[in-house]
Structure 1
Amino acid sequence: MTYGPAPDTRHPITGQTRLVYLKNIVTRPNIVVGDYSYYDDFENPDNFERNVLYHFDFIGDRLIIGKFCSIASDVKFIMNGGNHRTDWFTNYPFPVFGQGWEVAMPTEWPNKGDTVIGHDVWLGYGATLMPGVHIGDGAIVAAQAVVTKSVQPYCVVGGNPAREIRQRFDDATIQALLAVQWWHWDIAKITRNLKAICGNDLAALQRAD
């Protein structure tokens, strides 16, 4: 019996090269991707790291993406290297240019921490995520949304700045899904229970073995 494409497969859909299991193409150690999360790019999936912007090693922030995420073409992640000091009288980063301007070097630059994408998240076409946001498990970010603050699990957000449009399920169902955490099951169990995962019968999902 097979259990879907192996997670170390670069192109999991036969004959389709624009979609990749993302963890198999990332090269930066500060980008961490879970199994089965894919990226689909209209031109070339190797564009992904180009869309992780201002991501400088010396800052140390990470982009963390969970399992079974769906990431559409042209999604962009703005990392902490793009931040300027906004508490100064100027927006201009004089100290980084040196040659006498380094006298104004601050002890720290703004850093909102890691950007974290949960499990089973769908990031729609052209969405932009700002530094340090956390996207909860099961959430959906609509196409072209600009996410400036963290998103709760199983919420749908859209717009600029992104705002909650709706919850995908009622509160009790969301809590139950977060307790089940099917994405952490072994792949054999996931495969055995795909009809429950790809359905809306909560009791059937909870009974899965």
Structure 2
Amino acid sequence: MPLTHIAAHNLPSAVRLGEAPTLASSAVVRDCHFGRYTQVGEQVQMQDCVLGDYSYLQPHCDLISTDIGKFANIAAMVRINPGFHPMECPTLHHFTYRPVMYGMAEQNDEDFFAWRRRQRVIIGHDTWIGHGVVIMPGVHIGNGAVVGSNAVVTKDVPPYAIVGGVAAKLIRYRFPRAIAQALEATAWWDWDHATLTARLPEFKDLRKFLAQYAP
């Protein structure tokens, strides 16, 4: 049977990143700060966040009050620091803290929203957050950690740990403890762009990398 190619639906050419952040036109960003070589995908919503150098967000992520380190790899449809409903009150509904929407008051309950801002999520350097992950308020994700797809993270994740499930639990560590500590101690994510470029081939061999750069 004949096959049809629709050129208008081709994927766009690869983006060439630079010192200025690259934000998709459909991204909604409020009160955020971006490092160098950062990328924000389509339909991302983010507020009160920091995205460190070389980190990126794939499409349809939703995050608030989150500090993300350098070289973080965040897959699509990740939710970070979702809102809570007041389970201790007579009603769960948000008319109690968003009364302006319903013509019930002139101001919303700012104390309610301030709590969320205080429960900042911290995501370390060189992390991988899989597709559809939810990270709850106040959680810290250590450097080099991996969170498996569709996990719900309710507790802190140690450096170089791999976690998954609902609620997320430790699956294993990426490396033995001594190797993980040595790798973290190199703090390679703080190297400048020229140094990273020059040492790019050495990132493909862990033993040689540590022999050369571990303190």
Q: Per-residue displacement from partner, 1:155-203 (whole Å, max 9, x unpaired)?
A: 0000010101001111111211221110011111112222332321121
Relative to 1, partners in 2 of residues 1:27 and 1:74: Cα closer, same or farther, differing over 3 Å? closer
Residues 1:40 and 2:52 are matched in the alignment: no
Q: Which residue of 2 aligns with 1:193?
A: 199
Q: Which residue of 1 aligns with 2:38?
A: 21
Once the two structures are TM-superposed, the CA of residue 144 in structure 1 deviates from its matched residue by 0.8
Once the two structures are TM-superposed, the CA of residue 92 in structure 1 deviates from its matched residue by 2.5
Decide whether the 8 Å contact of 1:154 with 1:174 is kept in 2. yes
2:143 partner SS: coil
Residues 1:6 and 2:9 are matched in the alignment: no
Cα distance in structure 2, aligned partners of 1:77 and 1:138:
18
Count the aligned residue pairs. Answer: 175
Relative to 1, partners in 2 of residues 1:128 and 1:28: Cα closer, same or farther, differing over 3 Å? closer
Relative to 1, partners in 2 of residues 1:23 and 1:205: Cα closer, same or farther, differing over 3 Å? farther
Decide whether the 8 Å contact of 1:155 with 1:164 is kept in 2. yes
Equivalent position amino acid for 1:34 in 2: G
Higher relative contact order (CA 8 A, sep 6+): 1
Q: Which residue of 1 aligns with 2:76?
A: 73
Cα distance in structure 2, aligned partners of 1:171 and 1:150:
18
Decide whether the 8 Å contact of 1:133 with 1:148 is kept in 2. yes
- Aligned-pair identity (%): 37
Q: Which residue of 2 aligns with 1:17?
A: none
TM-score (norm 2): 0.68
Give the structure with the larger strand fraction: 2
Q: Which residue of 1 aligns with 2:27?
A: none
Note the aligned Cα RMSD (angstroms). 3.2
2:97 partner SS: helix
Once the two structures are TM-superposed, the CA of residue 205 in structure 1 deviates from its matched residue by 3.4
- Unpaired runs of 5+ residues, structure 2, are 1-15, 24-36
Relative to 1, partners in 2 of residues 1:38 and 1:89: Cα closer, same or farther, differing over 3 Å? closer
- Unpaired runs of 5+ residues, structure 1, are 12-19, 42-46, 56-61
Relative to 1, partners in 2 of residues 1:95 and 1:142: Cα closer, same or farther, differing over 3 Å? same
